[in-house]
Structure 1
């Protein structure tokens, strides 16, 4: 097991598929840290990224990093709750070098959240891509709550946040949602998102490597991974 956060970061990078390492490994790591009860470690993670990948950091580079972390946490709060996410936000703010000083409010940010467009349509499209024939059977387990919570999933959770691809792509979004759910120990929803990665075109081997990276963070954070489902447990048609 990695003994320090830098060692953990190196472990995560070494486990992931090649194309999910550069500029993507930290999405999974950050999401898993927050969901594992270690949101304040985001400051140390951010510092590690600057020290190892941006030794001559420019303001444009930090703007991009901040935008990606912001979108990650905007998505993750829908899955783990706002208190943990805000702890992570505060930890990040303490180690920002340039962008805090130029904070100009919402100008130019969150332009994707436009209520003049069909947010529900966007959310429905992604959730149907990930769940396919499994969607209605899941909704049907919700009894009298079905209509309200199906609306919440399609219009808010996916429509406003997870289905927004203006910053993080579909695959990158799954690198946030899977660890967010898996590190909370929810086997059913974790299985849904393992299957979702397969439905986005990732191989069984790739998904297993992603899970191994998530598990590395969870174990480092002191979480038990006993009984976690694996991609090989998926019986549904991909």
Structure 2
């Protein structure tokens, strides 16, 4: 017998559990919902992005239009970055679902990549962030991709150059939360290991990364997914 579809009440309970378990004391109170948004979208339930948004704006600190516009910029940027991990359809559906519950006065019409261009400066910026995440490990990836240069170009110019090295709205930890959550929800062993290692390399403690992984697993269970292939942060700690 198929599992019943999760309800809005189930989703809200799961969001509250994530907020309680996430290491906000160390990382800040504005990061748990990035993980929740990305994981629920990657897990095949982007419709609950609207419920997460409504849950967040019910709080006193997000009562003003200015605060809500700041929030939507962060949520939107997380979904833009998620495109580089899961493709367009799921993040786009999450955007549409949030838009359905936004009030007109709360909408933010800014365009973060209006002045973006490809080229050397973009590649350098992308490579600098890529090097922080991968360090010497990237040499092995380059050797593999020497026979698949389209993917090397895609990584430096687009994945990192266009998406992940832009920290004007989301900082480096936010960005790795997006990438780690999106990849882990796909039950990918190799790439999850890379980004467990990557988030450690930019300064998040082993204990906090373990708690982050447990939060992602809460969303996976909500979505009916089993993350059977992914390592734990302790498994990759010797590589950090």
TM-score, normalised via structure 2 length: 0.89
Q: Which residue of 1 aligns with 2:56?
A: 49
Q: Which residue of 2 aligns with 1:172?
A: 174
Aligned counterpart for 2:112 among listed residues 93, 109, 126: 109
Verify: 1:33 aligned to 2:35, yes or no. no
1:155 Cα deviation after fit: 1.1
Q: Which residue of 1 aligns with 2:203?
A: 201
Distance in structure 2 (CA, Å) of the matches to 1:54 and 1:112: 34
Q: Secondary structure at the match of 2:157?
A: helix
Verify: 1:159 aligned to 2:161, yes or no. yes
Aligned counterpart for 1:222 among listed residues 214, 221, 224: 224
Distance in structure 2 (CA, Å) of the matches to 1:85 and 1:62: 19
1:112 Cα deviation after fit: 5.9
Q: Which residue of 1 aligns with 2:66?
A: 60
Aligned pairs (5 A) from 1:84-163? 84-99=90-105, 104=109, 109-111=112-114, 113-115=116-118, 118-145=121-148, 147-163=149-165
1:60 Cα deviation after fit: 0.5
Structure 2: runs of 5 or more not aligned: 1-6
1:110 Cα deviation after fit: 2.3
Distance in structure 2 (CA, Å) of the matches to 1:31 and 1:191: 18
Whether the aligned pair in 1 keeps the contact of 2:193 and 2:231 (CA below 8 Å) is yes
Distance in structure 2 (CA, Å) of the matches to 1:213 and 1:83: 24
Q: Secondary structure at the match of 1:218?
A: helix
Distance in structure 2 (CA, Å) of the matches to 1:144 and 1:56: 50
- Measured on the aligned residues, the alpha-carbon RMSD in Å equals 2.1
1:140 Cα deviation after fit: 2.1
Larger RCO: 1 or 2 (CA < 8 Å, sep 6+): 1
Hey, which bits of structure 1, 4+ residues long, moved more than 6 A? Answer: none
- Deviations along 1:81-126, one digit per CA (max 9) or x if unpaired, are 10111111110101112356x665x5x5324624577111010001
- Deviations along 1:14-46, one digit per CA (max 9) or x if unpaired, are 211123351111100000011111111101111
Q: Secondary structure at the match of 1:234?
A: helix
Q: Which residue of 1 aligns with 2:189?
A: 187
Aligned pairs (5 A) from 1:71-82? 71-82=77-88
1:227 Cα deviation after fit: 3.2
Verify: 1:14 aligned to 2:20, yes or no. yes
Distance in structure 2 (CA, Å) of the matches to 1:39 and 1:199: 30
Q: Secondary structure at the match of 2:231?
A: coil
1:160 Cα deviation after fit: 0.7
Change (3 A) 1:23 1:98: farther
Q: Secondary structure at the match of 2:239?
A: coil
